[in-house]
Amino acid sequence: MNPFKQLFKDAPLATRNEITPKLGFALVVLLALVWLIPFLWMVVATLRPASDGINAMAELMPSLKPTLDNIRDAWDIGDFPRYFLNTTIICTGILLVQFATVTLAGFAFARLSFAGKTLIFYLFLLQLMLVPVLLIVPNLTLVVKLGLYDTLTGVMMPFFASAFGTFLMRQAFEAIPTELEDAALIDGAGVLARIRHIYVPLSLPSFSAFAIVSVTSHWNDFLWPLMVINSPDKRPLTIGLSVFTQTAEGTQAWGTIAAGTLIVIAPLLVTFLIFQKRFISSFVTSGIK
C-alpha cells in the first residue's frame, strides 16, 4: 500500500482517494509486463543450452547453465557483419542526402517568399499522404530503368526527399531570429553561407530528431529492399534476419533464432535506452513519416 501511495503523492488532493485510477494503473503495470515477455523470452532462450531440450524452450525461467553457444551459432550461420554494413550504408546514405535536401527546402519555406509557395507546400504535403510503401511497384520499375536494380543506391533513392524533414527544418529555421542573419547579410554572405554558418548550427536538435526518425524507419524497412535487392551479399539486416529465420526454423533451432533476433535489435535498443528522452520526443513530432 505504501509504495502505491508514494506513486500517487503528486496527484491532486481531491483524486487521491479514488479507486479507478489506481486500478487502471495496476492494469497498465500488468500489461507492461506482458509487453516485455517476448523480449524476456528472447534473452532467456538465447542463453539456454541446447541440452535443455525442446520442451524447456518456452520456459521463461533462465537456464542454470547459461551459454553463449546460440550467439556463436547465429553469428556463424548468418552473415550479420555484412548485413550490418549494408544497413548502415543505406541509413547513412539516405540520411546524408536528406540532410542536404531538407535543409535547402526547409530554408526556402522558412525564410523566402516566392511565387507558388502555397501550391508547392501542398505538393510536399502530398508526400505525407501518398504513403511511399504503397508505391513499390512503380518505383521498382523506375529503379530498374535507371539501372539501379540490386544496388544499395536503388534502395536509398526513393527516400532522398522528405516532406516530414522539410517541415521539421522549416519550423526550426523560423524560430531563429532574423537579426542574426542581418549581420551576415551586411557582411555580404550568400544564401548558402548563411544556411551553413547560422541556420544549421542553431538547429542541431531538430537535425538529431529527424535523424532518429529517419534512421529508425529505414533500419527497420523490409518490403522495399526485398523488392530491390537480389544478391545475398547486398541484403540489409531485416532481409538477412528473415532468411536466417527461415533457415533456422527448418531445423527447429529456436535458441539460434532468438540469438539472431537479439543480434539484430540490440544496437537500436541500446541506443534507445541511452537516449530515451530524445527518442520519445522525436517520435512525437513524427506522426506520418
Partner 1 sequence: MSLAEPAPLAVTTSAPPRLNALQRFAAGFKGSLPAYLLLLPSLIFLAAFTYGAVGRVVVDALYQRATPRAPSRFVGLDNLAAVIADPAFTGAVVNNLIYAVGTVVPSIALAFLFALALSRTNAVTSALRAALFLPVLIPMVAASALFLFIFLPNVGLLDHYIGRLLPVLPNWLGDPDIALAAIMVITIWKNAGYYMLFFLAGLQAVPEDAMEASYLDGAGPWQRLRYIILPELKPTFLFVTVIAGLNAVTQVDHVFVMTKGGPSNATNLVLFYIYQQAVEHYDVGKASAATLLSLGVLMGLTALSFRTLANREGGP
| Interface pick for partner 1 out of 51, 92, 208, 242 (rule CB under 8 A) | 242
Q: How big is the chain by its Cα radius of gyration, in Å?
A: 24
CB of 210 to partner 1, least distance (A): 14
Instruction: Establish if 10 lies at the interface with partner 1 (CB under 8 A).
Output: yes
Label residue 50 exposed, middle or buried (CB < 10 Å: 0-12, 13-18, 19+): middle
**CA separation for the pair 103, 76 (Å, rounded):** 42
Instruction: Establish if 45 lies at the interface with partner 1 (CB under 8 A).
Output: yes
Instruction: Establish if 265 lies at the interface with partner 1 (CB under 8 A).
Output: yes
Q: Euclidean distance between the first and final Cα of the chain, in Å?
A: 44
Instruction: Establish if 203 lies at the interface with partner 1 (CB under 8 A).
Output: no
Q: Which of residues 86-115 bind partner 1 (CB under 8 A)?
A: 100-102, 104-105, 107-108, 112-115
Q: Which of residues 270-289 bind partner 1 (CB under 8 A)?
A: 272-273, 276, 279-280, 283-284, 287-288
Stretch of 33-41, 69-77, 175-183, 201-209 contacting partner 1, by CB under 8 A: 33-41
- CA neighbours closer than 13 Å in the CB half-sphere of residue 47: 13
Instruction: Establish if 144 lies at the interface with partner 1 (CB under 8 A).
Output: no
Instruction: Establish if 182 lies at the interface with partner 1 (CB under 8 A).
Output: no
Instruction: Establish if 62 lies at the interface with partner 1 (CB under 8 A).
Output: no
Instruction: Establish if 123 lies at the interface with partner 1 (CB under 8 A).
Output: yes
**CA separation for the pair 256, 251 (Å, rounded):** 10
Report the residue number, 81 or 116, with the smaller CB distance to partner 1. Answer: 116
CB of 143 to partner 1, least distance (A): 9
> Which residue is associated with the grid cell 543450452?
49
| Interface pick for partner 1 out of 5, 11, 147, 182 (rule CB under 8 A) | 11
Instruction: Establish if 227 lies at the interface with partner 1 (CB under 8 A).
Output: yes
Instruction: Establish if 222 lies at the interface with partner 1 (CB under 8 A).
Output: yes
**CA separation for the pair 234, 242 (Å, rounded):** 14
Instruction: Establish if 220 lies at the interface with partner 1 (CB under 8 A).
Output: yes
- What is the residue type of 128? L
Instruction: Establish if 230 lies at the interface with partner 1 (CB under 8 A).
Output: no
Stretch of 28-36, 64-72, 77-85, 180-188 contacting partner 1, by CB under 8 A: 28-36
Instruction: Establish if 138 lies at the interface with partner 1 (CB under 8 A).
Output: yes
CB of 165 to partner 1, least distance (A): 9
| Interface pick for partner 1 out of 5, 38, 72, 208 (rule CB under 8 A) | 38
Report the residue number, 198 or 268, with the smaller CB distance to partner 1. Answer: 268
Stretch of 74-82, 181-189, 199-207, 233-241 contacting partner 1, by CB under 8 A: 233-241
